[in-house]
Every structure is written in structure tokens, then in C-alpha cells.
Chain A
Amino acid sequence: MDDRRSGRRREAAELLAALERQAPFPGAPRVGLTGSPGAGKSTLLDALVRRLRARGETVAIIAVDPSSQKSGGALLGDRIRVRSAAGDPGVFFRSMAARERLGGLADATRAGSLVLAAAFDRVFVETVGVGQSEMEVASLVDTLVYLVNPGSGDTLQFMKAGLLELPDLFAVNKADLGAEAERTASELASGLGLARSGAEWTPPVLRISARDGTGVDALVDALDAHWQHLVRSDALRERRRRGRDAFVRKALEHRYGSHGLEQLGGPKAIALRLAERRDAACFALVDELGREIEESLQKSR
């Protein structure tokens, strides 16, 4: 799925299109887990996987590691911390490097999560929160969990960056720190009150401790509740469609630049096209519109 050679990419796109067409709705929930480095994402993931496995769910994890260097190399070490993945055939764990040189990460994570959603009961995508990547993950998953490290100044940065409206759940880690965690949680809750007044879903702010497992059960309940909300209100379909649209735009822009996008008649025309093809599979749509751009570019040459 992450093979960049053109032949393999075509094969992958065909497979994905078939999967998207045939996948039952709503399928497996896709959950994003994000937060700053050292917030405890892997430890939390480990605790979550244990709980979900205990109730019989199979789980797939894509862990996106930010440590990609100038060299293009990366050290992917999250596996070590998600011990629940070791030796359990009901858990799949794939590490990916956030590599820019060989084309964006979005392709590989989206393709990977689509495939895994067909084979597992739940898919997690773990990323480090650095602004841009939240946007990408938010468009990929059904539920976005933001893990906050109390007292780290994360919250303020997050609010400043205008990213507060993205997550569906907030988990304040290290609840065992007491007062500090409390303060961070209330800061978040009041910040959210301003940003989200009148919305249908008010993101809960949970206090957890990834280390000793406090609040992890409540987090699982909250994940279930959000999923129920999405399915019942039919917001899921809309959300996935918005995510698909964002991805298609980005993929086309990545490949052909803004000049390429103009070939399709600019943003409004693209929005219209996407609305017309509301049920088309994501990668098939990228290929279809991509061909159109290429033809148009050739003509104008």
C-alpha cells in the first residue's frame, strides 16, 4: 500500500476502490490519537488495546513517527511501548515515518487505514500533534482524541493555533499529578465552551493516567459514545465525505500544484465536482480527476 512505484500504485488504487465500494457502512471505527511528543500516547494506546482486546475486539494500529531526519531515515520505536501488540494475533501494528521526500504520508496512512478497517474491528492512527498533521488525521478518522500533557503549555499552543475545534475527545494525562492536571482540564473546558458553543457534540474532557490505567475505561466509553453519536445522527457519512474531499484536494494539489487545480476550474468547480461524485471512492476519484488535469495540461501545451 505504501509502494510508490507507478504500477504498484495503480494496483493499490484498484484494490482500494474495490474495498471502498464493497465495505459495509459504517464499518470499523477509525480513531486518531494525537498529542505532543512525550504526552504518553503509546502508553495510553497500550492500555486502550488491552481493554478492547479484553472485550474481544481486534485492533489495528498505524503509528506515525515524526523522527524523520534530513537523511530521510527514521527510528520507529513505538512498538516497544505498545507491548499488548506483541504475540497477539488480534493486534496489528505498523510503524510509519512521517516522510516528506517520497510523497506525503497521507496517502499511506489513508490507504493503510482503509485496508485495515476491512480486516479489524477498530483502527487507531497515532500521530504527533504539530499542527498540520492534526488536520490530516482529522480528515482521516471518525474520532480524534487529543492527549494533553498537563503543565506543558500544550493547551495554550493548541488554542492559539486554532486547532481546538478539531478533536472530539480530550484526555488530560497524568491525572496522578493532581492539581496541575485539574487546572489543565478546566482551562481546556472553558476554552472549548467558547469555541464550540451550540455544537451538537461537546467534546468531553477526561482525566486519565496512561501509566496506572485510571480513566481508561471512561475513555473507552467516551469512544463508544462518540461513535454512537456519529452513527445515530448520520454525521458519520458527512464527516467521512468531508474527509475524503479534503484528501482529494490535497492529493491533487500535492501532485499537480495549484496550477493543476485551476485546470479543473478552481475551488468552486472542484467542490461541485466532489458533490456530484459524492459516493465515489477516494483514490479512484484522485485518479479520475488527476487524469483530467493531465489531459487539460497536455492540450494547453
Chain B
Amino acid sequence: MSESGSGGRERPWVFRTYSGHTSARASNQLYRTNLAKGQTGLSVAFDLPTQTGYDADHPLARGEVGKVGVPIGHVEDVLRLFEGIPLERMNTSMTINATAVWLLALYVAAAERSGVDPRRLQGTTQNDIIKEYLSRGTYIFPPEPSMRLIADMVAYTVDAIPRWNPTNVCSYHLQEAGATPVQEIAYAMATAVAVLDRVRARSDVSEAAFPRVVGRISFFLNAGIRFVEEICKVRAMAELWDGLCRERYGVEDPGLRRFRYGVQVNSLGLTEAQPENNAIRIVLESLGVTLSKRARCRALQLPAWNEALGLPRPWDQQWSLRIQQVLAYETDLLDYGDLFDGSPVVEQKVRELVDAARAELFRVLEMGGAVAAVENAYMKQRLVASHSERTRAIESGEQVVVGVNAFTETEPSPLTAGARSILVVDESAEREQIESLRAFRARRNEADVKAALKNLRDAVANGSNAMPPSIAAAHAGVTTGEWADTLRGLFGEYRAPTGVAVRPAPAGSGIARVRERVQALSEVLGRPLKLLVGKPGLDGHSNGAEQIAVRARDAGIEVVYEGIRLTPDEIARSARDEGVHVIGLSILSGSHAVLVRDVLERLRERDLRDVPVVVGGIIPEDDAEALRRAGVRRVYTPKDFDLTRIVDEIVDVVAESRPAA
């Protein structure tokens, strides 16, 4: 970083908006509009089938196509997505992990077809699998082969696409999963070490190239509302990273030890109640990662004020872009050097964070590093514990959330008036994507596809870098599902530990009374009240489901936790095999309408229509009403933060549903 206090106005960070939905064509329109409004980089959101390696016509993709991002099935979808956007001048960030090799291969193939030299491509593939196991849930393969794919990309890009950030170590999702700043720093560093240690051990990366490899590692951070602490967090990370690069990896060039990071400010803390307050939260959270020049982000993307209500509309995203522009162009922020150098308060806080994070980092490294600490559930358990603590503090009012547990009186908000105050993805998007995919399959050369897949399988099986055969497969017309299936055949699939076997909630949150009710009802039922918690569809955000599972357990309920990525049929089967009294479904991808309908249908087919169903998710009120009409007994949204109350109501639901004995 340049010296502080020197003259000249600093160039602003890259402005991005995490976006994409419905189809490549619709998303392309959105990107072009956003760039015209002054956005300076792209951040591509992919839909869940693309992220988890399924074609749009796979049974698990049902209801998910085009929901949380753009569906990408093959190279033509990528060409359509970037039509009219000069790839060689664009800085493109892709939130893609388990299938990152494939999406980068498609991007390279699209560039080659457009006559752009891949060496000129700039951007980032998120490609951090550790946090997928811990929080985000879009992993496919077991940890070791997943880490190998990451290392393949790092080894490939360092020479072939030298301005690409092949992996973006994410502490963002760790914070969403409950991480304290210390945990966020330590686990991000442990993840970076896990990648670099593996790359260093490879024979295809020369010792001379290794410092450049280190220099390409970037980070993706969360910025929470405690923005003073966040400033200190980033400064602590920069310091720790510099030390790791120097001491562990022997990088001499300070330029290659620079802590480079992008940010999405906190979405989890955005509230459904009085959502207009979120605009203020977003501004303050932006300050945490921009105020300190020494610790300023390279790229910033802001959520929309109404994310807790549903998918934001273009206007909502524009408002967030304007926040960045006002901050960067109207204020004098970029005129000055670092405002915090020499501040004893900041220095002391940074010291505390560095010391505590280093200790936690070495604890993880001692147990074998980030991968070992995923497999033995150490990190997950620590995160679930912190998350439970945060939930408890909000429930008890110890941690103030304005409009939620304090100052709840409000005038009706004119911003949320009107039926369409959020974006609704057209239900026909899925059908159209499937049709376009089938048309593509029909016109490609099958022999080329078969040969490319065989080549991919052989290359990956014998340990060669997965990138070149994936690029060839992209050119040959292989689809996302075919690419992922080939690797699933080699590596198998994985389910990460849930970390929910943690200590019970502190007493006194009203749980004792619920426990008595559970006990009494269990006597009547003849066996303990049994609840099935499951996530249908492809959404992997399991924190909410896990928090409910833990609280229900603490209330004396037997909870069968089914985890993520289940088909409606699997859920109905589990309900039957396990003999549960009630089912709780959690869906955050906005696919609740189709998925819940399917689960209810499957339950009816199995003669389980009497088993009541409750649903939680980001569910607009109109949809909630439709779900209740379809037979769902209760619908919970982010404003229902009192877990004990939810569990209490689940007891009500079972009591109401019990046929008169």
C-alpha cells in the first residue's frame, strides 16, 4: 500500500452488485444496465443447480432454476451472458465454488470464441470450499479432491491467466455462520494455508513461480455493523497475512504479500422489520472497509435494503450502487492517507485480535489444518456455538437490533407498500431454460462430447490438471451436469458434519416451560415428540435449520436432522421411516412455492397427510398466505428471531394435529 498522507486522490475501489437471475439473456440486460449506471465490475450470481453441478432438467434442480442467480448450462449460455460486454476490459467476479473449474473453463472458452486472449482476462473465482462445508453448503465432493481442484486452478492460472484471482478465501460466510472476529480471521487464514500448502507440494509449480501464487490469493470479507471493530479486523488480517507470507512461505516482495480483499457487507444483519433501516446499516458497514486507507477493500458489493424480504428489484440495487458512488465521489474520503495510523485505541484492538486469532489459527494447524478441522467438525462446532450465543443475545435484548427487539413502534413504511415491492422470478424461466438446454444438446456433436468427457475423466483420474480438459469439454459442448457427474463418479459425494451436537442453550429463555409441554405431550403421544428438520432443494444455507434443531433438542424434542440437498421424495420417505410427528422445512433460495408443494404431494402419496408441516425461509407475505392455504401449518420468516417461541408453536401444531384418541 502506498504511504499515507501523500497527495493525490486515490482511485476508488471496484463497484459491484451481486446479481443474476432468470436466464443468461435477462442477466445480460441487467449487467449492461448496471454498467451504464456507473458500476465498474461485475459480480455474477449463479443459480443453485449451476453451483452444485446439475443441469436444469435434473430432479434436484426443480424449483431452483434461475432463482438465486443465472443458470449456466454450457458455453453458449456464457456467450449470451456477456454479449456486448468486452471481456478483456471487464473485471468479473464469480461466486462459484464446487464447480469453479468448470465455470472458469466456460469463461475461457467463451473468451476464445470471442477472439479474446485468455491471458488478458481479469477477475475472481470464489473457489473456497472450506466455507462451503462450514456455512454455505454448495459443496459436492469430499474435502481432499475438492482441495485438489482448487490447487489445479491456482497452478493453472498463475501462468495461463496471470491476472486472475483463482481463489477468494471467504471469511464472509464464516461471519454469517456465527464467527466472532477472531474466528473469522483465524479460519480464513487456515483456509489460505490449506490451499497454499497443497500448491507448494505440487511438482507442476516451480519454486520461482510460488511467490506469484501467493500474490494471487485474495480474500472476501464481511463487514458487520460494529464498524470500528471491523476496521481493526481488516488491519489485523493484513498484519497476519503479511507475517504468514513472509515466515511460512518466504515471500520477499512486499507487493506479493499485500492483503487484497473484496467485500460484501453483511446481509444476515439486515432486518425484515422496518427494512428502511437497512439502508443506514449498509452505509455504516461500508465505512468499516473503506475508512482506513491501509485496510481498504479492492472491490465492494452492497446488498439491497430489502434482501430480507425477497429478491431485490433493479431500483433497490441501484440505491446500493449510489451509496458507493456518493461515498467515493462526493465525500473527501479518498483525499487523505490513513486516518487511523498511530491511534492507540485502534492499535490496541488490532493487537488483541492478532494475538487471539494467531492462537486459534495455530490450534487449527496443530490438528492438521482447515481440512482436518472440517472433518472433525471442530470449526463447525465453534461456529454453531458462537451463532447460538449471538441468537441468545438478540433474544434476551442484550444485543440491540433497532426495530426488531427495541424501538419496534413504527409508522407503515411507504417503501414496502404495493404488491410488487420485491422481484418475482417468472415461473416460466425454468421451463424455458430446460427447453433451451435440450435444444443445445440436440444440435451439438455427441461424439465430441463423449470424447471430451472421457478425456476429462482420464486426465482427472491420473492426477493431471483438471483445467485443460475442462476447457476442451466446454468447447465440445459438455453441459454443467455432465461435467459434474464425471467428477462425482471419480470423487464421490460428501456430506459435511453439521456441528449441531453442541451444548444446550443457557437456561431461562423460557425453554423450561416448553420442555414441560413437550414432556406432557410425549406422554400423550406414547413416545417422545419427534421432529424432522430438512432442507429440500439445493439451498445449502443451513444455519437457520441448525439453530432450530438445536433449540428443539434443548426443549426435549427428538430431532432428526436431515441436512441439505434433499428431494421432496427423500423427505417424505424419512418422515415415514422415522415416524416423526411434525416436519420443519427450511428454504432460503426463494424456491419455497414449488418445493413445499412437492413435499406435501409426496406426503399425501405416502399416506402421511396427517403429519403437519411448518416452513421457514425468506418468504414474502403473499407466498406465505399461499403456503398456508396449501396446508402448511406455520410459516416463519427472518423477523421471527425468537427460536423458543417457534419451538413452542411447533408443539402447538402437533397438539392441534393429533387425531382425537
Partners in one complex: yes
Binding site for B on A (CB under 8 A): 2-5, 8, 38, 67, 69-77, 79-81, 83, 86-87, 92-95, 97, 99, 102, 211
B504 CB–A CB distance under 8 Å: yes
Closest chain A residue to B553, Cβ basis: A73
Which of B74-82, B150-158, B565-573 lies at the interface? B565-573
Contact yes or no, A73 B559, CB < 8 A: yes
| B555 partner residues in chain A, CB cutoff 8 A | 71, 73
Minimal beta-carbon separation of B142 from chain A (angstroms): 8
- Interface of B: prevailing SS: mixed
Let me know if B598 is at the binding interface, CB within 8 A. Answer: no
CB-contact partner of B573 in A3, A77, A87, A97, under 8 A: A87
Choose among A75, A86, A102 the residue that contacts B559 (Cβ–Cβ < 8 A). Answer: A75
Contact A94 B578 (CB under 8 A): yes
Task: Please provide the 8 A-B residue pairs with the shortest distance between their CB atoms, ordered closest to farther.
Answer: A3-B526, A5-B526, A73-B553, A72-B556, A80-B563, A73-B556, A71-B556, A76-B560
Contact present for A76 and B526 (CB under 8 Å): no
Distance between Cα atoms of A102 and B557 in the complex (Å): 13
Contact A87:B528 (CB < 8 A) given known A73-B559, A75-B500: no
A75 x B493 contact (CB < 8 A): no
Note all chain B residues with C-beta closer than 8 A to A2. 527, 579
Tell whether, in the assembled complex, residue A83 and residue B527 are in contact, meaning their CB atoms are under 8 Å apart.
Answer: no
Which A residue's beta carbon lies closest to that of B512?
A: A71
Chain B residue contacts of A38, Cβ below 8 A: 376
Does B515 touch A at the CB level, under 8 Å? yes
A5 CA to B658 CA, complexed, in Å: 15
Given A4-B526, A94-B578; A79-B550 close (CB under 8 Å): no
Q: Is the CB of A76 within 8 A of B559?
A: yes
Q: Is the pair A83, B493 in contact by a Cβ cutoff of 8 Å?
A: yes
B-chain residues with CB within 8 Å of residue A92 when the two chains form the complex: 577
Q: Is the beta-carbon distance between A86 and B570 smaller than 8 angstroms?
A: yes
Question: Are B552 and A73 in contact, CB atoms less than 8 angstroms apart?
Answer: yes
Choose among B498, B527, B562 the residue that contacts A102 (Cβ–Cβ < 8 A): B527
In whole angstroms, how far apart are the Cα atoms of A8 and B550 in the complex? 30
- A77 vs chain B, min Cβ distance (A): 5
Per-residue CB contact flags for chain B residues 485-501 toward chain A (1 = under 8 Å, else 0) read 00000000101001011
B562 engages A79 (CB within 8 Å): yes
CB of A83 within 8 A of CB of B561, answer no
Q: Provided the pairs A3-B527, A94-B578, A94-B579 are in contact, do residues A77 and B570 lie with their beta carbons within 8 angstroms?
A: no
Whole-angstrom distance from the CB of B572 to the nearest CB of chain A? 11
Which parts of B571-615 form the interface with A (CB within 8 Å)?
Answer: 573-574, 577-579
Please, which residues of chain B bring their CB within 8 A of the CB of A79?
Answer: 560-563, 574, 578
- Min CB distance B495 to A, Å, is 5
B553 contact set on A, CB distance < 8 A = 67, 69, 71, 73-75
Whole-angstrom CA separation of A158 from B270 in the bound complex: 52
Q: Kindly state whether residue B522 has any CB partner on chain A within 8 Å.
A: yes
CA A38 – CA B381 in complex, angstroms?
A: 14
Say yes or no: A70 contacts B579, CB within 8 Å.
Answer: no
Most chain B beta-carbon contacts within 10 A, residue among A3, A75, A79, A83: A75
Min Cβ gap A256→B in Å is: 21
Residue of B nearest to A83 (CB): B495
Nearest residue (CB) in A for B494 is A83
Contacts of A70 in B (CB 8 A): 504
Q: In residues 357-374 of chain B, which contact A (Cβ within 8 Å)?
A: none
Q: How far is the CB of A47 from chain B (nearest CB, A)?
A: 10
List chain B positions with a Cβ less than 8 A from chain A: 142, 376, 493, 495, 498, 500-501, 504, 515, 518-519, 522, 525-528, 549-550, 552-563, 566-567, 569-570, 573-574, 577-579
- Distance between Cα atoms of A286 and B519 in the complex (Å): 27
Task: Decide: A72 and B519 in contact? CB cutoff 8 A.
Answer: yes
Q: Give, as a whole number of angstroms, the nearest-CB distance from A128 to chain B.
A: 12
Among B553, B557, B574, find the residue whose CB has the most chain A CB atoms closer than 10 A.
Answer: B553
**B495 in contact with A80 (CB, 8 Å):** yes
A67 contacts B501, CB within 8 Å? yes
The smallest C-beta distance from B646 to any residue of chain A, in angstroms, reads 15
Q: How far is the CA of A86 from the CA of B563 in the complex (A)?
A: 12
Contact indicator B495/A73 (Cβ below 8 Å)? no
| Chain A residues within an 8 Å CB radius of B527 | 2-4, 102
If the complex has contacts A2-B527, A67-B501, A99-B528, are A93 and B558 also in contact, measured as CB distance less than 8 A? Answer: no
Residue of B142, B550, B561 with most chain A CB atoms under a 10 A cut-off: B561
Assembly CA distance A129 to B498 (angstroms): 21
| Inter-chain contact A75/B561, CB cutoff 8 Å | yes
Ordered by A's residue number, 28 sampled pairs between the chains whose C-beta atoms are within 8 Å are A2-B579, A4-B526, A71-B504, A71-B554, A73-B518, A73-B528, A73-B554, A73-B558, A74-B553, A74-B558, A74-B559, A75-B500, A75-B550, A76-B559, A79-B560, A80-B495, A80-B561, A80-B563, A83-B495, A86-B566, A86-B570, A86-B573, A87-B573, A97-B558, A99-B528, A99-B558, A102-B522, A211-B142
Q: Which of B493, B495, B515, B558 contacts A76 (CB 8 A)?
A: B558
Q: For A73, what are the chain B residues with a Cβ–Cβ distance below 8 Å?
A: 518, 528, 552-559
Cβ A69 vs Cβ B574 within 8 A: no
CA distance A80 to B528 in the complex (A): 21
Kindly report which residue of chain A lies nearest to residue B144, judged by CB atoms.
A211
State how many angstroms separate the Cβ of A144 from the closest Cβ of chain B.
24
C-alpha spacing A92/B525, complex, angstroms = 23
Which residues of chain B come closer than 8 Å to A93, judged between CB atoms? 574, 577-578
> Which residues of the other chain, B, contact A3 by a CB distance below 8 angstroms?
525-527
Give me 19 other A-B pairs in contact (C-beta within 8 A), A69-B554, A80-B563, A94-B577 excluded.
Answer: A5-B526, A69-B504, A71-B515, A71-B553, A72-B519, A73-B553, A73-B556, A75-B553, A75-B559, A76-B558, A77-B561, A79-B563, A79-B578, A80-B495, A93-B577, A93-B578, A94-B578, A94-B579, A99-B558
> By the criterion CB–CB under 8 Å, are A80 and B498 in contact?
yes
Q: With the chains together, A125 CA to B579 CA distance in Å?
A: 17
Are B577 and A77 touching (Cβ within 8 A)?
no
Complex contacts, B525 vs chain A, CB 8 Å: 3
**CA distance in complex: A5, B566 (Å):** 33
Question: Which residues of the other chain, B, contact A94 by a CB distance below 8 angstroms?
Answer: 577-579
Q: How far is the CA of A69 from the CA of B504 in the complex (A)?
A: 8
Query: Least Cβ distance of A223 to chain B in Å?
Result: 23
A72 contacts across to B, CB distance below 8 A = 515, 518-519, 522, 528, 556
B526, B552, B554, B560: residue with the most chain A Cβ atoms closer than 10 Å:
B560
* Given A38-B376, A75-B550, A99-B528, also A87-B567 (CB < 8 A): yes
When distances are taken between beta carbons in the complex, the residues of chain B under 8 Å from A97 are: 528, 558
Tell me the smallest distance from the CB of B500 to a CB of chain A, in Å: 5
Interface centre among A67, A79, A102 (most CB of B within 10 A): A79
- Chain A residues within 8 Å of B498, by CB: 77, 80
- CB of B500 within 8 A of CB of A87, answer no
Residues of B within 8 A of A211 (CB): 142
Contact B528 A102 (CB under 8 A): yes
Q: Give Cα A75 to B526, complex, Å.
A: 19
Query: What's the least CB distance linking A267 to chain B, in Å?
Result: 32
Instruction: State which of A69, A76, A99 has its C-beta within 8 Å of the C-beta of B561.
Output: A76
- The one of A69, A75, A87, A102 in contact with B570, judged by C-beta atoms closer than 8 angstroms, is A87
Q: Which residues of B contact A4 (CB under 8 A)?
A: 526-527
In the complex formed, the residue of B with least CB distance to A74 is: B558
Contact A87 B569 (CB under 8 A): yes
In the complex, A87→B563 CA distance in Å?
Answer: 15
**CB <8 Å contact, A81 and B495:** yes
A67 neighbours in B (Cβ, 8 Å): 501, 553
Residues on B with beta carbons closer than 8 Å to the beta carbon of A83 = 493, 495
User: Contacts A8-B526, A102-B528 known; A75 to B515 CB distance under 8 Å?
Assistant: no
What's the Cα separation between A99 and B557 when bound, in Å? 11
A92–B526 Cα distance when bound, in Å, is: 22
Q: In whole angstroms, how far apart are the Cα atoms of A77 and B381 in the complex?
A: 14
- Complex: how many Å from CA A102 to CA B527? 8
- Distance of A106 from chain B, by nearest CB (Å): 15
Q: Which of B500, B527, B555, B567 has the most CB of A within 10 A?
A: B527
Bound-state Cα–Cα, A119 to B570, Å: 20
- Expressed in whole angstroms, the Cα–Cα distance for A77 and B495 within the complex equals 11
Query: How far does the alpha carbon of A70 sit from the alpha carbon of B553 in the complex, in Å?
Result: 10
